[in-house]
Amino acid sequence: MRGLNPEQYAAATHTDGPLLVLAGAGTGKTRVLVHRIAHLVECRAEPWTVLAVTFTKKAADEMRHRLRGLLGSAADAMWIGTFHATCARLLRRWPERVGLTKHFAIFDDDDQMKLIGRLVKEAKIEEYVTPRTILTRIDRAKNRGVDPGKEEIGVYTDEHVALIYPKYQAQLEKENAVDFNDILLKTIKLADDEQVGARIRTMFRHVLVDEFQDTNKVQYDLVRRFADASRNLTVVGDDDQAIYGWRGANPRNLLDFDRDYPDAKVVKLEQNYRSTQVVLDAANAVISHNQDRRGKSLWTEAQGGDLIEQFVAGDERGEAYFIASGIRRMLDEGPYSPSDFAVLYRTNAQSRVLEEHMRACRVPAKVIGAVSFFERKEVKDVIAYLRLLANSASDSAFDRIVNVPARGIGEATVERLRAAARADGSSTMAAARAAVRGEVSGLGAGPRKKLAVFVDVMDGLASVVAAGASVAEIIIQVVERSGLRAKLEAEDTEESRDRLSNLAELVTTASDFDDERANGSGAAMFGAFHDEEVEPAPAMAIPQTAAPDGEPSEADVDGDGGAAALRAADQEPDAMVPATIDEFLERIALASVADQAAGTDFVTLMTVHIAKGLEYPVVYVAGLEDGLFPSLREREEQSQDAQLEEERRLAYVAFTRAKHRLTLTWARTRRVWGDIRFQMPSRFLDDVPPHCLAGGKLGSAVRAPIPSAAAPYGYDDPWQDVAAAPAYPARAPARSGGYANTAGATAPTPVHVRKPRTPAFSNSRDEFDQRSFDDHEPVFDVDADGAGAHRKGRMGAGFATGTRVSHAAFGVGRVLGNMGEGADQKTLVDFASVGTKTVLSRFLQAQS
DNA sequence: GTCGTCCCGGGTTCC
DNA sequence: CCGGGACGAC
């Protein structure tokens, strides 16, 4: 408890009952949470009765990591997880209570859109609504715990949603799947269940929730249930950082917490330990314009500080160049390393030009978010194979991959299968099998043969799974047997090589997962750094593994076994599908962009949303333009004012990420979807007090009204303003934006942005480092013709340099060298298809 | 049924 | 400006 200020101490050592911690940015919120948990474990509660809930896995990981510093391995005994991961685990424990089976799948946005798209088409209403609209409405209703089919908009219910939603939900049910909202909703149902509800509501004696301002109604309802018995509910948040209104978050949950819990102790944390006074003044000035806030003001002992730089560029490339070259210079001159910098922006679309200029200026940078790895087409395809393997009822997975890679099975065939499946209430996969046996009418010999090929592929893969292959091995086999590898290799384009290497990356991910699972318990899902077996304290009976007969004894997990009971959820063996596939799929579905490691050697480029909770010595906020930041799009569910207030909070979050230096930039013109927009400075720039700014006020007298149909750019005559701007014919990287307040903008040497032939930094993680698999024998020889047929007993010898070898995923290549020995021995191979890779030797076969 | 070309539209933000 | 869907040619 050392080093806490009085308020922090009061929060950390609060005894029992509800506690509300209103914590401003940079006030040591996480620190207090961690100390509070440590305090609880040391004096008030057994660790496994503590539940800490976060929004992102990264936040959970961070918390566990810090807790380990205080508590050691006891930190592993408690339950620290995201809302969704926690709930998913509860559902896996008692799936049948809410109409699921243990192997339920999680539908992501893509799956939802595809399904709704199909339903919209079938209902022939595609001229009236887009699937996106329907999905948004469904999500919005579910966020609020309302039945989407019955939600009233104005005085009437949305007929299209009312038509589609029941079909949508029915299909989910049929596929044994849930969407993100269902995960939470069904968990609430579980907590209200007469059989198991009481257990869930008494599982935890202390419940702590981080970023409470971001909870929506359903999440709040859920948390209240978790804390139902004990009332030991600690919520921590900052109403000024409520930036998820668009996904149903309700800051009133935080603001009115002491109305629901009148006996709640309230602690305010206002001393900021992160930023300089200058940065705080700017942030406070912006947020002070908001009406609807609980009101607290941050202060710091770090008086003064570097003034805030501002820069206005001619266009987005000038802006990007200014930022990239500025960082380059600081790296060259200063005591800075790349990880000291973050560039924040409002929308992902801004990332690209920034990334390009970073590259051109040889600044190692990484974009977080945008198209997440798991959203790549080829990755999703392989995942769909896994999903279909794990659950043959998954029509959505079937749809996705029957014909990927193309094997001549077209829409007409699939539609017949669908009809057949509908007729006898089975899945399309089952119908495909029936068709191969000739039991589906209307299918000729041709389609039948092609379906047989597909069914064979799936059966072959099933035997790989049944033989006990690890997830990484299964994925390698999927890539091979599906023909994906062959197809991508045949294409042999830059893109196809890229895709192959993404698949290799997927194998690496799976392999990490296998490792974790091999040496951890089910808790590996939650703990970030789960390197060792969870140590139960001697006196406690935490069932870490299933009893010999495979069933964890109910008596053991009953009562106070909170975290342990959850961990036990995945320990029950299943005849056909190992829980590992489910677990892997779940992890992927619940992975978030924020979880992508902000590398230690990179400048981080990300949206403001993702940056919440992070801090950097030097921060650039780009694109401070009216209409972009604040975004002024019309949205149906929020008033203009409410929206603007949220944007303001977003700016507040952005500014307060900076520890020492903050630079605000905007561009007078910006390309949006190909055409050039003329931009006005953000109104938030006006709010920054002049005394904080290097060079005084920005030339920002012109205020853009909210865009309208008559003035789509927000003002009447865009050209009028351009006349004042520097001539702008050649869209070359802008030198400076024209206005003079550009301290530090020394005239740069013109740099032509082009893709460098060799990247300045290499993403040098070995893309095909499969690392240690389980120590069992490789399983590739499950059938004679297995393309990955693996020769046993040839370990440790390695391959002579120059030997031609083949690999299930990468094809043929030439050996460059060996390293390591035994099962871990690796070989460096120059593959024809994907270039040089390090692979485990036992996955190679010598070519004669 | 596949593959190429053209056209249209893109929800900002995420678990 | 991109990518996905629609449509037409093999």
Of all nucleotides in the shown strands, which has a C1' nearest the CA of A368? B14
pLDDT at residue A803 tops 90:
no
- Size of chain A, expressed as the number of residues it contains: 848
Catalytic residue among A175, A211, A240, A514: A211
Active site residue A769: no
The answer for residues whose C-beta is within 8 angstroms of residue A548's C-beta and 6 or more apart is none
Element (H, E) at A800: none
DSSP reduced 3-state for A501: helix
The set of strand B positions with any atom below 7 Å of a protein CB reads 1-3, 9-15
- The string of pLDDT tens digits covering residues A209-229 is 999 999 999 999 999 999 988
What does the buried/exposed string (b/e) look like for A166-177 if buried means 16 or more CB atoms within 10 Å of the residue's CB? ebbbebbeebbb
Which one has a higher pLDDT value, A675 or A100? A100
Q: A243-246: which pairs have CB atoms within 8 A and are 24 or more residues apart?
A: A243/A214, A243/A608, A243/A609, A243/A612, A243/A646, A243/A649, A243/A650, A243/A653, A244/A214, A244/A609, A245/A638, A245/A642, A245/A643, A245/A646, A246/A635, A246/A637, A246/A638, A246/A646
Give the best-scoring range by mean pLDDT among A524-533, A565-574, A782-791.
A565-574
pLDDT at A685: 93
The set of strand C positions with any atom below 7 Å of a protein CB reads 1-2, 4-5
Active site residue A656: no
pLDDT at residue A347 tops 80:
yes
Q: Band of the pLDDT at A567, cuts 50, 70, 90?
A: low
Catalytic residue among A46, A62, A210, A625: A210
Distance CA A185, CA A192 (A): 11
DSSP state of A441: T
Q: Considering chain A, what is the average pLDDT of its residues? A: 77
Distance CA A377, CA A649 (A): 35
Distance CA A818, CA A803 (A): 12
- The string of pLDDT tens digits covering residues A323-339 is 999 999 999 998 999 99
Catalytic residue among A27, A187, A241, A310: A241
Q: Band of the pLDDT at A758, cuts 50, 70, 90?
A: very low
The alpha-carbon radius of gyration of chain A (Å, integer) is 28
Active site residue A657: yes
Q: Residue A241 in contact with residue A649, Cβ under 8 Å? A: yes
Which protein residue's Cα is closest to nucleotide C1 at C1'?
A674
Please write down the HEC assignment for all residues of A238-295: CHHHCCCHHHCECCHHHHCHHHHCCCCEEEEECECCCCCHHHHHHHHHHHCCCCCCCC
* Lowest-confidence region among A54-63, A104-113, A532-541: A532-541
Active site residue A571: no
What are the phi and psi torsion angles at A822 (to 5°)? 65, -145
pLDDT at residue A823 tops 80:
no
Active site residue A836: no
Q: Which of residues 574-593 of A touch strand B (CB under 7 A)?
A: 590, 592-593
Q: Band of the pLDDT at A528, cuts 50, 70, 90?
A: very low
Which protein residue's Cα is closest to nucleotide C5 at C1'?
A117
Tokens at residue A692, please? 């904080």
Sign, Cα dihedral of A163, A165, A168, A174: negative
Of all nucleotides in the shown strands, which has a C1' nearest the CA of A674? C1
DSSP state of A781: G
pLDDT at A633: 77
Q: A515-521: which pairs have CB atoms within 8 A and are 24 or more residues apart?
A: A515/A771, A515/A772, A517/A580, A517/A583, A518/A772, A518/A774, A521/A545, A521/A567, A521/A571
- The string of pLDDT tens digits covering residues A366-408 is 888 766 777 788 888 999 999 999 988 888 899 889 888 888 8
Distance CA A370 to C1' C9 in A: 37
Active site residue A258: no
- The string of pLDDT tens digits covering residues A230-250 is 999 999 999 999 999 888 899
pLDDT at residue A130 tops 50:
yes
Distance CA A444 to C1' B1 in A: 14
Distance CA A487 to C1' B2 in A: 15
- Concatenated DSSP letters of A367-394: E-SSS-GGGSHHHHHHHHHHHHHH-TT-
pLDDT at residue A535 tops 60:
no
* Lowest-confidence region among A114-118, A199-203, A408-412, A695-699: A695-699
Q: Which of residues 132-151 of A touch strand B (CB under 7 A)?
A: 132-133, 136-137
Of all nucleotides in the shown strands, which has a C1' nearest the CA of A590? B15
Q: What is the pTM of this model?
A: 0.77
Rama region for A193: left / alpha / beta (φ>0; ψ in -120 to 50; rest): beta
Distance CA A642, CA A620 (A): 26
Give percent of chain A with pLDDT exceeding 90: 38
Cis peptide, bond prior to residue A543, ω within 30 of zero: no
Catalytic residue among A7, A8, A27, A29: A29
* Lowest-confidence region among A164-178, A294-308, A643-657, A690-704: A690-704
Q: Residue A161 in contact with residue A185, Cβ under 8 Å? A: no
Other Cβ atoms within 10 Å of A759 Cβ, number: 11
Asked if the Cβ of residue A607 lies within 7 A of any atom of strand B, the reply is yes
Q: Band of the pLDDT at A638, cuts 50, 70, 90?
A: confident
Give the pLDDT mean for A186-206: 93
Which protein residue's Cα is closest to nucleotide B3 at C1'?
A406
pLDDT at residue A826 tops 70:
no
Which one has a higher pLDDT value, A393 or A156? A393
Which one has a higher pLDDT value, A606 or A127? A606
pLDDT at residue A521 tops 70:
no
Using a 7 Å CB cut-off, which residues contact strand C?
Answer: A 117, 377, 671, 673-674
pLDDT at residue A42 tops 70:
yes
- The string of pLDDT tens digits covering residues A454-492 is 999 999 999 999 998 999 999 999 999 998 888 888 877
Distance CA A409 to C1' C10 in A: 18
Which protein residue's Cα is closest to nucleotide B13 at C1'?
A609
Distance CA A638 to C1' C5 in A: 32
Give the pLDDT mean for A593-602: 71
Of all nucleotides in the shown strands, which has a C1' nearest the CA of A673? C1
Which one has a higher pLDDT value, A554 or A623? A623
Of all nucleotides in the shown strands, which has a C1' nearest the CA of A671? C1
Which one has a higher pLDDT value, A836 or A533? A836
Give percent of chain A with pLDDT exceeding 70: 76
